[in-house]
Every structure is written in structure tokens, then in C-alpha cells.
Amino acid sequence: MKKELLMASALVSTMGVASVAQAVTATMSGHHDAGLVGTNLDSGNDDTTAAKTESSFSVSLSETTDGGIGISTSFMLANESDTGLHTSGLTLTFTDGSKLDLVNAGNAAKSHDISVPGGAGKAEGVTVTSTNTAPTGLDFFGEAGAASFEWHSASDFFADGLKIGASFSADNGAASDASITLETSWGLGATYVTSAGDTSVTIGAGLTDSEFKTTGTAPTNQSNGFHIGVSAVTGNLTVAAGYADGDKIGTSGQYEAMDATVTKVGIKYVSGDITLSAGMTTGEAKDSDTLGTKGTTSDSKDVTEAGISYAVASGVTANLGWKDITATDEGASDTTAGSSWYVGASMSF
């Protein structure tokens, strides 16, 4: 009996080793935020205070072939931070350092926008009316479908500090009825890193164009645009600015936000475990309910934000943030704007 038990143990151990050897490498990451958000709207409604909790949990899978090509993908098990679970396609990493994303690849213009400092935490208590289409992000354009690819160059592509990317998204074959459908899109992006004395300077830019169709007919004006930004880091101080200009087509309601622009500036300073940040954003757009017709009056959003973050322990950050939004909708004052504050903590792994 003892011999049979030893043989069974050896067999189980062997099977376990084989199973591990054949499995890809898996890593997990995520976060949980918990805090309070206070809101004061321009409409004059009473101030409100509410709990704010958000969580995410993602899994990354990767393996390398005998030829040295890396194959990776990822998926999310939970995501309360924004919409969707962000299931990725496949990423191939080649021996020269270049990468190729396949399926749900995204748009290369978005991959090279500059990160501009702003507030801290989740001071998102103000939700401006949905008819206000003024954007506040540098990558408000740049659509992509499931049938897409994005190529990322290796570092120092043709020049020290230069990386470029290119993407293309093909028609998914969906029937085009009364709702508008993305047909094709392409994007180009570049990031250049250099130095000026003790300052590290990063310049990012992107260009993109998308074509849509509705009831079999392409609208007169399509979605397209460009962005450019610069970030300068000197010691613990970061200063950044960015600008974007383009046309945006929506899928419902306001079909087009024409002549949309976004300007962002921000500053961040790190002192030990404490990070101070502040930023300002101005977004404008002209929208229309009629596809292919430019609007005549402007929507706008002016955002001012600031924040303090404190690293309490490894993976634990306490945040105090404040945000104020002033807005107009079709040229008139938008009373759904206002200010909000946030106090809470984030735990990441």
C-alpha cells in the first residue's frame, strides 16, 4: 500500500509540474478607492455629500516563444472606474523592441498624448448636462473598431529619444441603419524625449481620421483631428501643456461636435511622500442635431482643479482633491456646472 501511495504522489507531482510548465505567466493588478465627494452646483441646489467607491481587478497573461517573440494579452474581472472591462486583443513584442497590437488595438494618436497634471482622487461630483459636448481631453477623437492593429516602434527610432506608432481600423461589416457606424479609421503618433540642461523634455503629437456611415451614406463631415503637447521635468517639478483641435461625431443626440478644441496646462511638485498638483482646461465645441451639418453656437467647459496626495504606505495613497467647472450650453450659461471636493484613499496592487 505504501508503494502505491508513493507512486500516486509521484504521478500527481509530475502532472503538476507539467501543468505549470505549459501555463503562460499570469500577473494580477487592481485598485480600490474609497472616499467622500461633496458637490455644489451653480443651479443653487443644496450642497450634497456622497460616498465614492471604485474598484478594478485585471489579469495580464504573457509568454515568450523560442524565437524570442513575446505574446501577451489582458482582461478585467471588474471595473467600476469607467465603462467597459477593457478586454485586450493580442500584443506581439519583437526582439528589436517594437510591438504590434492585434484586435481591439486602439488608435495610435491616443497612445502619444501628453499627460497633463490636474487634481487628485475622484473629485467628479459635477456632471454637466449631456447636451454640452465640449471635450476636456486631448484625445477626444481617434475612434477604432475591433478589427484593428496598432504598431509601436522601438525606442530611438531613427533618432535618439524618438518613438512612433501607426494604427488602422477596418469596417466591421455591421449594417448601417438609422444609427451611425464607424467604417474605417487610421492614426499616427510620435513621442520625442530630449534634455535641456537639467530638464527632461517630452513632446507628444498625434494625427487621426475616421470615416462613418449611416443608412449606407457617409456624412459630409467626418471625425478627425490632431493634438500636440509638451512636458518638462526638472527635479521634482513637472510642467506640462497640450492642445487638440478636431471634429467629433457622436453616436446619438448631437451627431457632430464641429471645430472642437481643448487647451490644457498643469503643474506637479513632489516633496518626499507628498505630491501637489494643479491644472486648468478649456474645451469648446459646436454641435448639431443634424448629421453632416455644422452647428452655429458653442458649448464650453472651463475646468480648474487641484489636489494633494500623500503616500501613506506601499500601495496606499491618501487624496484630497478639488474641481470647479464653468460651462455654457448653446451659448447660454449651463447651471449644471459647479464645484466639488474629494477626500479619500486608494489602495493598489
- Give pLDDT tens digits for 109-152: 999 999 999 988 777 777 777 778 888 899 888 888 888 899 99
Average pLDDT of the segment spanning 44-53: 82
The answer to whether residue 287 scores a pLDDT higher than 90 is no
Residue entry with cell 443634424: 290
Rounded to whole angstroms, the Cα distance separating 203 from 113 reads: 9
The highest-level CATH class for domain 29-348 is: mainly beta
- The DSSP element (H or E) to which 14 belongs, if any, is helix 2-21
Tens digits of per-residue pLDDT, 288-305?
766 656 677 888 999 999
Per-residue confidence (pLDDT) for residue 76, from 0 to 100: 83
Per-residue confidence (pLDDT) for residue 7, from 0 to 100: 36
Mean pLDDT taken over the chain? 84
Q: CB neighbours of 260 closer than 8 A, spacing ≥ 6?
A: 133, 134, 135, 140, 225, 245, 246, 247, 248, 283, 284, 285, 286
Q: Is 182 helix (H, G, I), strand (E, B) or coil?
A: strand
The answer to whether residue 6 scores a pLDDT higher than 50 is no
Average pLDDT of the segment spanning 223-247: 95
Predicted TM-score of the model (pTM): 0.84
> Residue 20: pLDDT band by 50, 70, 90 thresholds?
very low
The answer to whether residue 85 scores a pLDDT higher than 70 is no
Tens digits of per-residue pLDDT, 173-228?
665 555 677 788 999 999 999 998 999 999 999 999 988 776 655 555 678 899 99
Average pLDDT of the segment spanning 64-91: 83
